[in-house]
Amino acid sequence: MDDVLARLRAMQAADVPVTGGRTLAYVYDSGLEEADRVGRAAVAAYAGSNGLDPTAFPSLLRMENELVGVTCDLLDAPPSTVGTITSGGTESVLLAVQSARDAHPEVERPRMVLPSTAHAAFHKAAHYFGVEVVTVAVGEDFRARPDATAAAIDDRTVLVVASAPSYAHGVVDPVGPIAAAAAARGVRCHVDACIGGWVLPYAARLGRAVTPWTFAVDGVTSISVDLHKYAYAPKGTSVLLHRTAELRRPQYFASARWPGYTMLNPTMQSTRSGGPLAGAWAVVSTIGDAGYLALTAQVLDGVDRLVAGVAGIEGLRVVARPDSTLVALATDASCDVFTITDAMTRAGWWVQPQLSHDGRPPTVHLSLSAATAPHVEEFLEALRAATAAAVASGPVVVDAEVVAFVRALDPAQLGEDDFDGLLAAVGMAGDGSELPTEMAEVNALLDLASPDLREALLSRFLDRLQRPLRGVAAEPPTG
Ligand SMILES: *Cc1c(COP(=O)(O)O)cnc(C)c1O
């Protein structure tokens, strides 16, 4: 047994670290060892429990109702508010869209109005549930425009969306006028606070200016908040709140049309591990309200120091003053973000490149954790060095022939040969099992591609990575 765990740990050494505050995307670290330890123990204790039937596992129902209650208190929810724990932000968003669609069976071709900065999860929901997306361009400040949003609502609209804040730029949309415009047409308004929902209420209590976005805003009908982001819970939990039980009703799926148990599910999953729920309950109970207030003060102070530090780095700028814990950085023409990202990886900082979109330049995304805050000066030093090196080497140049090759590709008809040719051109030929560490050229190439082509190329890339390793994992350890 020890040997299997040792092999796991050896494999895990290749992953980005989930603690230590040096990973600024994908993971969120409170820096509190006790909270981590308790959370992991709770996941393990409940790994075999099944949320499929809350009458068989009343402890899971109790934890879910308590967590939803804590979230209601945090988000100014009226007594009518109800909620569900889901597996993550995407599932919360999917269910918000599905509920909105199914509340209107009379609308033949339902639509939802999204600011162009809304999370990709809404596009996934559109794809899964056949809801048409109406995208509205955001303003110069990356915030949704209420007038344009209102103008996009029509008789087929079943949902209007705002972010608090948007993932890519970290700014809060003007939720008040957007929700009012939706309510005036009798349309649901979902606030995607997946990443900011556990930060902004504490930011407001710390005396920072926060655009109103909770259930205190009239017209907001549902809100999603991820526990596995800034509640610092283990991966696998998000909360979806609806203002009333009636609004949630279409979310339930029941089927008695087979000879087994009547299937009754509030989420996309049916068997639901109790592990993530217990882990989230344990972490939220350990950190507590005062703990989150302190962690928020810590991380926002880190954001302030980071923003001030970036202002002193030649070639780099913050694209929008952050409303929360997310910062997007862009460069001037002297260098490029992809070269900087690679240099940061070499220096042991994991930051996330974001491709150009809607006429706006590519950026570096930073999700700061409380555990990052004590290391901001160190981070800035690495960023200063990475940017200076990127300026010295100049912007990455993609070979003109490769550019021409990519521009000629038809995403709908991407052949295996085309893809092999492209991999070879960017020096990634082979079976795809070796992941590259130098990504600047690949990212620069993707940046030139259309969204359709980016999707096709990256899907093909993942398809190549996901191939079975046969007869390996089940082998008993040798030696
Ligand atoms: C992270 C995020 C999501 C998606 O959540 P997952 O947990 O990754 O599925 C949706 N919206 C926003 C704003 C997010 O930051």
DSSP assignment of 9-31 equals: HHHHTTSPPSSSS-B-SS-----
Confidence of residue 430 (pLDDT cuts 50, 70, 90): low
Output the CA 194–ligand 1 centroid distance in Å.
5
Residue 277: closest CA among 76, 106, 47: 47
- Whether the per-residue pLDDT at 479 is higher than 50: the answer is no
Long-range contacts of 208-213 (CB under 8 A, 24+ apart): 208/300, 210/172, 210/323, 211/164, 211/172, 211/173, 211/174, 211/175, 211/176, 211/323, 212/175, 212/176, 213/162, 213/164, 213/172, 213/173, 213/175
- Whether the per-residue pLDDT at 245 is higher than 80: the answer is yes
Instruction: For residue range 175-228, list pLDDT tens digits in order.
Output: 999 999 999 999 999 999 999 999 999 999 999 999 999 999 999 999 999 999
195-to-238, 271, 284 alpha-carbon distances in Å: 10, 26, 16
- Whether the per-residue pLDDT at 169 is higher than 70: the answer is yes
Residue 195: closest CA among 232, 243, 142: 232
Does the CB atom of residue 196 touch ligand 1 within 6 A?
Answer: no
Give the per-residue pLDDT at 476: 60
Give the per-residue pLDDT at 423: 85
User: C-alpha angle 430/18/88, rounded to 5°?
Assistant: 90
Output the CA 473–ligand 1 centroid distance in Å.
31
For residue 42, give both structure tokens. 């709770």
Give the per-residue pLDDT at 247: 98
Does the CB atom of residue 88 touch ligand 1 within 6 A?
Answer: yes
Output the CA 118–ligand 1 centroid distance in Å.
10
What are residue 335's phi and psi, to 5 degrees? -160, -175
Does the CB atom of residue 172 touch ligand 1 within 6 A?
Answer: no
Q: Using CA positions, which residue lies closest to atom 12 of ligand 1? A: 194
- Whether the per-residue pLDDT at 125 is higher than 80: the answer is yes
Cα–Cα distance measured from residue 54 to residue 370, given in angstroms and rounded to the nearest whole number: 34
Strands 188-192 and 222-226: parallel
Output the CA 195–ligand 1 centroid distance in Å.
6
The answer to whether 71 and 239 have CB atoms below 8 angstroms apart is yes
Q: How far apart are the first and last CA of the chain?
A: 14
Strands 132-136 and 352-354: unpaired
Does the CB atom of residue 22 touch ligand 1 within 6 A?
Answer: no
Cα–Cα distance measured from residue 227 to residue 237, given in angstroms and rounded to the nearest whole number: 5
Does the CB atom of residue 197 touch ligand 1 within 6 A?
Answer: no
- Whether the per-residue pLDDT at 293 is higher than 50: the answer is yes
Nearest atom in ligand 1 to 195's CA: 15
- Whether the per-residue pLDDT at 475 is higher than 70: the answer is no
Does the CB atom of residue 226 touch ligand 1 within 6 A?
Answer: yes
The preferred substitution site among 119, 232, 327 for testing ligand 1, maximizing ligand atoms within 8 Å of CB, is: 119
Cα–Cα distance measured from residue 268 to residue 51, given in angstroms and rounded to the nearest whole number: 12
The answer to whether 128 and 94 have CB atoms below 8 angstroms apart is yes
The preferred substitution site among 169, 172, 226 for testing ligand 1, maximizing ligand atoms within 8 Å of CB, is: 226
Widest Cα–Cα separation across the chain: 71
Does the CB atom of residue 325 touch ligand 1 within 6 A?
Answer: no
Verify cis geometry, omega within 30 degrees of 0, for the bond prior to 165: yes
Q: Using CA positions, which residue lies closest to atom 3 of ligand 1? A: 89
- Whether the per-residue pLDDT at 51 is higher than 80: the answer is yes
DSSP assignment of 189-221 equals: EEEE-TTTTTTHHHHHHTT------STTSTT--
Cα–Cα distance measured from residue 182 to residue 247, given in angstroms and rounded to the nearest whole number: 15
Report pTM. Answer: 0.96
Confidence of residue 419 (pLDDT cuts 50, 70, 90): confident
Residue 211: closest CA among 141, 149, 153: 141
234-to-7, 280, 367 alpha-carbon distances in Å: 22, 6, 17
The residue count of the chain comes to 479
User: How much of the chain, in percent, has pLDDT values that exceed 90?
Assistant: 90
> Where are the CATH 3.40.640.10 domain residues in the chain?
33-283
Does the CB atom of residue 195 touch ligand 1 within 6 A?
Answer: yes
Does the CB atom of residue 161 touch ligand 1 within 6 A?
Answer: no
Q: Using CA positions, which residue lies closest to atom 8 of ligand 1? A: 89
Nearest atom in ligand 1 to 238's CA: 7
**Structure-model confidence comparison of residues 472 and 63, the more confident one:** 63
CATH code, 33-283: 3.40.640.10
